[in-house]
Amino acid sequence: MHANLDSSFHPTPSRVPSLPVFPLPVLHGRQAAPIDPDDDDTEVELAYPRDGVGDMVPTYGLNCPNGTGDHFMPDRVPVFAVRDGEITYAAKEGHAYAVLIDHGNGWATFYGHLEHMFASETTSKRRRCTQRVKAGDILGWVGSPTERGFKRLRFELWTIDEDGELSAVNPRGELSRWRALPWSEDRFAQAAIANAA
């Protein structure tokens, strides 16, 4: 059995790994949370909970890409790499993009429903170089699995055995311990410029 993600990365003398980062930032003083908190599924969809009926509705309407009755998701919310690692898969899946990061030491994370991704596609026939990320690097913007559906992040945590086989793990226990990074909606332009360079 694997240790939790926090302790499973053993530092080497030349590099001490950074602490895990929650995949979505704190917005309006709120932490994103699973849309279905009681679900035991290994696939988690994350969005920002409303604080009651009518909360944030003038800004993020109901029954639209930016809001439901219980949750909201602004445009251009960044998705962060949870830990340092190597992008082993980045491609369009249906209407959105997805990224898989191998963090080493038997752990991987999957990020789905991205509206835009800043990684190069790994399915391209062109020769690709290794794409490394650090904890907190922006992978893309949160999107929707359908053209006009509600935006949310699909997040999965996987273990990788010695044979390279992936096994999904329920990430809810890990998510609650990871540090959340702040973000303001006016910073998306700065991030887009930085990631394009």
DSSP result, 120-177: PPSS-SS-----EE-TT-EEEEE--SSTTSPP-EEEEEEEE-TT--EEEE--HHHHTT
Cβ within 8 Å of residue 9, ≥6 positions away: 17, 83, 84, 103, 104, 105, 107
Question: Which is it for strands 33-34 and 96-104: parallel, antiparallel or unpaired?
Answer: unpaired
Q: What per-residue confidence (pLDDT) applies to 115? A: 94
Spans of all domains in the chain? 33-196
pLDDT in tens, the chain (197 residues): 444 554 443 333 334 456 899 999 998 889 999 998 777 788 999 999 999 888 999 999 999 999 999 999 999 999 999 999 999 999 999 889 999 999 998 999 999 999 999 999 987 666 567 899 999 999 999 999 888 899 999 999 999 998 989 999 999 989 989 999 988 766 544 444 455 54
Instruction: Report the C-alpha dihedral over residues 64, 69, 75, 81, rounded to 10 degrees.
Output: -130
CATH number of 33-196: 2.70.70.10
Q: What per-residue confidence (pLDDT) applies to 157? A: 95
By CB atoms closer than 10 A (0-12, 13-18, 19+), residue 24 is buried
Measured between alpha carbons, how far is 77 from 14 in angstroms, rounded to an integer?
A: 33
Backbone angles phi, psi at 174, to 5 degrees: -75, -45
